[in-house]
């Protein structure tokens, strides 16, 4: 899957979970500091990515991902 | 002990010492009685006096010469080496040896009474219906069944009988102040029994109660305490302006700092400061430390109340009915509110204000948060937190009870059949939801709670992980120090298990884990009057507690067979699978807790550090105050546990492969 497609779907998922406008999510946005995700929302985000891409992520590693671009890279590793 | 009348000479000495008596013939003394140390004392009624000549060590090792000074004594037996001074009225008491009573207004037994024993207190429902009697040997287990099993009339009648026996034992018009008691600067003590070794210092008013104490752990009643209708057990401290009405204070419980409570029972190792409790069943290790915290009409166990926690319910119509249940290990966050009745499952955390009645008892280790007026449940999330790990490890270490036989039977095992059984049930509920819920839905609803659909699969996986760790932990316990022969024995034992046998329900009876059939056995013995007293009942609970790991293994071995090899024999390969799954799951769990611990050292945690400096100052200030992740004791211990898990896995795999 192309990076742009992954990024778009990652941002879609983030927007749904955090109930924010997709346009407001920058590539370098930090989940906690910029997007205001708390620890429970972080778990929801991981679940949302799993469902969106039909993959199973390693939670320990996934919960350490801090930015949108890192999430895109992390998911792309699984897809490849 | 033989007592004699006073001699003429002794009476003359007493008169010379400005003592008075309406009839000196009513004063009996021991053979070697010495009247010199009785000065300015009014005697009335029948009084017996021992030998008052030795010195006694008071507070700060100040030596006092035993004797009676500036006091009025009515109908008392005063044993050897006692120091009584400035007691306006001491009436109807037997006083043990080496006791000091000074600067007290009144210590009186006013009538035939049971010293608080048998007084009913209204637990869980302020309006009554679940009353329990105050008893000196009330265990959290006895209280649990008295309070909760009201549907069982036969049981309640049997329990009432043994409780009544206890009350009658304590009926008397003479009170007891034991040996080595210290009472000083107290306004009034009325109808209170005080056991050996108790210390009462600067209390204001104690009425209708019993203070139990043993040599190993002194009971301390301190400044400005007001208590009416109470039992306070050994090792307890009730201090600094505590106000109690109709209360039971269990072994080694600490209440202080203006805490007030009514119609409440606090079992072993509770702590209550500043706040207020009304009609609560504070099971072992219930802790409330903060002002503005009102705990009301609920059952708690291993509970921690955040500041401002409140469960009051002002919408009642037919009376003040609340009745909450917060199971073992529950926590409520600061300023959290729950509309009662509601129920919180084991090791769960309540955050925010909840204006719906909910029942989360099927989901252990959950977060219950509030989102736009909805109560949202995130199941299993508290399985991986530093808080849960630290709490479960600290409780056993903080058991302050010193007696050999402890009244409350408390089991600290984290992976009990009760908890793992709940995880299994929660897994099944989530699995059903997962299979049946459309992806269009954001939430599923369950008993007043909303669960995010996206988390159904994740949380199910976490419970499964917990179950695997639980099975493994109990298998490892069996395999500890195992050799080839013992493995053959364990396999034989497992293969002999009939998995069609119903894996029975377990209970958490006020801190004691037991199977439903064990409880039913106790119940039957009570109803058949094979158990005839409270002490026999407590002994039965003790026996069950001692045999816990054997009973728990029965349950886990059935679960193991059911899960891993329902249709075939247990082989080494099966045990290898169980062991490997345990190892992988446990390592994952420990690593997630480590991740949670790491957050305590992240950039957010450093906000407010290095107040006037730059980032370098902030980091350095933080390091000096909080230390570092690498050097933190908790994280070091977790890493050691990870290492130990790997070692145990390798060792046992070598034996099995």
Q: CA–CA separation, B270 vs B132, rounded Å? A: 19
For residue B12, which phi and psi values (nearest 5 degrees)? -65, -40
Q: CA–CA separation, B238 vs B222, rounded Å? A: 6
Q: Does B301 touch chain A (CB under 8 A)?
A: no
The two structure tokens encoding residue B279: 């009609």
Print the domain residue range for A70. Answer: 3-79
State residue B71's pLDDT score: 98
Number of structural domains in chain A: 1
Inspect the interface and report whether the beta carbons of B455 and A50 lie closer than 8 Å: no
Is the pLDDT score of B462 beyond 80?
Answer: yes
Inspect the interface and report whether the beta carbons of B454 and A17 lie closer than 8 Å: yes
**Confidence band (pLDDT; 50, 70, 90) for B324?**
very high
pLDDT per position as a tens digit, B627-651: 999 999 999 999 999 999 999 999 9
Among A30, A34, A47, A53, the residue to mutate for chain B (most B Cβ within 10 A): A47
Inspect the interface and report whether the beta carbons of A60 and B592 lie closer than 8 Å: yes
pLDDT per position as a tens digit, B211-239: 999 878 899 999 999 999 999 999 999 99
Q: ipTM for the complex?
A: 0.92
User: Which among B159, B165, B162, B135 is positioned nearest to B147, based on CA atoms?
Assistant: B159
Contact B249, B232 (CB under 8 A): yes
Size of interface A-B (CB pairs under 8 A): 36
0.90 cut: is pTM over it? yes
DSSP single-letter state for residue B313: -
The two structure tokens encoding residue B174: 């003479």
Residues from chain B that touch A59, judged by Cβ atoms under 8 A, are 458, 588, 592
Contact B53, B34 (CB under 8 A): yes
Q: CA–CA separation, B366 vs B379, rounded Å? A: 4
Q: Does B452 touch chain A (CB under 8 A)?
A: yes
Q: Annotated catalytic residue: which of A34, A38, A54, A70?
A: A38
DSSP line for B496-557:
T--TTS----EEEETTEEEEHHHHHHHHHHHHTTSS-SHHHHHHHHHHHHHTHHHHHHHHHH
For tokens 């709490």, the residue is B391
DSSP single-letter state for residue B373: T
Q: Does A63 touch chain B (CB under 8 A)?
A: yes
Higher pLDDT, A47 or B320: A47
Inspect the interface and report whether the beta carbons of B595 and A64 lie closer than 8 Å: yes
Inspect the interface and report whether the beta carbons of B454 and A63 lie closer than 8 Å: no
State residue B458's pLDDT score: 95
pLDDT per position as a tens digit, B399-445: 999 988 899 999 999 999 999 999 999 999 999 999 999 999 999 99
Q: How far B593 CA sits from the closest chain A CA (Å)?
A: 10
Contact B188, B207 (CB under 8 A): yes
Q: Does B441 touch chain A (CB under 8 A)?
A: no
Q: CA–CA separation, B215 vs B264, rounded Å? A: 26
pLDDT per position as a tens digit, B480-536: 777 888 888 888 888 887 665 668 999 999 999 999 999 999 999 999 999 999 999
Active-site residue flag, A58: no
Inspect the interface and report whether the beta carbons of B455 and A43 lie closer than 8 Å: yes
Inspect the interface and report whether the beta carbons of B455 and A48 lie closer than 8 Å: no
Q: What percent of chain B has pLDDT over 90?
A: 86
Q: How far B442 CA sits from the closest chain A CA (Å)?
A: 10
Q: CA–CA separation, B377 vs B360, rounded Å? A: 8
User: Domain containing A67 — which CATH number?
Assistant: 1.10.1200.10
* Closest partner CB to B454 (pick from A47, A60, A64): A47
Q: Residue B89, class by beta-carbon neighbours within 10 Å (0-12 exposed, 13-18 middle, 19+ buried)?
A: middle
Tell me which H or E stretch contains B73.
strand B67-74
Contact B511, B284 (CB under 8 A): yes
């Amino acid at each position: 899957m192309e990076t742009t497609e992954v990024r778009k779907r990652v941002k879609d998922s983030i927007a749904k979970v955090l109930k924010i406008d997709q346009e407001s999510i920058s590539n370098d946005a930090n989940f906690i500091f910029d997007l205001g995700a708390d620890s429970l929302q972080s778990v929801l985000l991981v679940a949302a990515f799993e469902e969106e891409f039909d993959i199973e992520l390693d939670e320990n590693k996934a919960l350490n991902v801090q930015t949108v671009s890192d999430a895109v890279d992390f998911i792309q590793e699984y897809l490849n | 002990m033989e007592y004699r009348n006073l001699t003429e000479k002794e009476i003359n000495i007493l008169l010379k010492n400005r003592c008075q008596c309406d009839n000196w013939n009513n004063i009996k003394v021991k053979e070697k009685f010495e009247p010199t140390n009785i000065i300015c004392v009014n005697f009335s009624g029948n009084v017996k006096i021992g030998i008052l000549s030795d010195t006694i060590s008071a507070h700060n090792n100040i030596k006092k010469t035993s004797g009676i000074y500036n006091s009025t004594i009515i109908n008392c037996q005063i044993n050897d080496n006692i120091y009584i001074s400035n007691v306006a009225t001491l009436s109807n008491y037997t006083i043990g040896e080496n006791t000091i009573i000074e600067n007290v207004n009144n210590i009186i037994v006013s009538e035939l009474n049971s010293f608080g024993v048998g007084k009913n207190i209204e637990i869980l429902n302020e309006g009554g219906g679940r009353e329990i009697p105050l008893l000196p040997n009330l265990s959290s287990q006895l209280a649990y069944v008295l309070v909760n099993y009201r549907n069982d009339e036969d049981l309640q009648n049997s329990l009432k009988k043994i409780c009544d026996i206890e009350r009658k034992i304590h009926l008397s018009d003479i009170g007891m102040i034991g040996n080595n008691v210290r009472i000083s600067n107290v306004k009034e003590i009325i109808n209170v029994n005080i056991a050996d070794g108790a210390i009462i210092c600067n209390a204001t008013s104690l009425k209708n109660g019993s203070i139990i104490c043993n040599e190993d752990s002194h009971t301390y009643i301190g400044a400005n305490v007001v208590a009416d209708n109470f039992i306070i057990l050994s090792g307890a401290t009730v201090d600094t302006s505590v106000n109690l009405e109709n209360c039971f204070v269990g072994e080694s419980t600490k209440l202080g700092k203006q805490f007030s409570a009514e119609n409440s029972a606090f079992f072993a190792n509770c702590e209550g400061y500043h706040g207020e409790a009304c009609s609560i069943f504070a099971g072992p290790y219930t802790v409330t430390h903060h002002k503005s915290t009102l705990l009301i009409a609920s059952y708690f166990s291993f509970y921690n109340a955040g500041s401002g926690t409140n469960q009051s319910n002002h919408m009642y119509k037919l009376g003040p009915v609340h009745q909450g249940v917060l199971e073992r290990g529950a926590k409520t966050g600061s300023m959290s509110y729950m509309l009662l009745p509601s129920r919180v499952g084991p090791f769960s955390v309540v955050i925010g204000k909840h204006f719906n009645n909910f029942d989360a008892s099927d989901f252990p280790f959950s977060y219950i948060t509030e989102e736009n007026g909805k109560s949202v449940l995130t199941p299993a999330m508290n399985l991986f937190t530093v808080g849960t790990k630290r709490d479960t490890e600290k409780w056993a270490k903080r058991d302050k009870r010193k007696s050999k036989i402890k009244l409350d039977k408390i089991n600290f095992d984290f992976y009990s059949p009760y908890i793992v059984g709940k995880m299994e049930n929660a897994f099944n509920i989530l699995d059903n939801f997962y299979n049946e819920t459309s992806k269009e839905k954001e939430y599923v609803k369950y008993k007043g709670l909303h669960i995010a659909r996206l988390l159904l699969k994740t949380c199910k996986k976490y419970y499964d992980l917990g179950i695997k760790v639980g099975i493994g932990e109990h298998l490892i316990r069996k395999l500890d120090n195992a050799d080839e022969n013992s493995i053959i024995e364990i396999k034989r034992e497992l293969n002999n298990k009939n998995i069609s046998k119903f894996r029975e329900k377990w209970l958490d009876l006020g801190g004691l884990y037991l199977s439903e059939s064990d409880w039913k056995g106790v119940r039957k013995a009570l109803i058949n009057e094979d158990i005839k007293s409270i002490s026999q009942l407590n002994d039965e609970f003790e026996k069950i507690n001692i045999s816990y790991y054997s009973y728990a293994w029965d349950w886990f071995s059935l679960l193991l067979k059911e899960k891993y090899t329902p249709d075939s024999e247990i082989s080494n390969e099966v045990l290898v699978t169980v062991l490997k799954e345990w190892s992988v799951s446990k390592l994952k769990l420990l690593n997630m807790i480590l991740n949670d611990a790491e957050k305590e050292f992240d950039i957010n945690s450093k906000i407010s550090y290095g107040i006037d400096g730059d980032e370098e100052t902030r980091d350095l200030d933080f390091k000096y105050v909080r230390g570092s992740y690498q050097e933190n004791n908790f994280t070091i211990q977790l890493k050691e546990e990870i290492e130990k898990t790997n070692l145990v896995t390798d060792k046992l795999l070598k034996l099995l492969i």
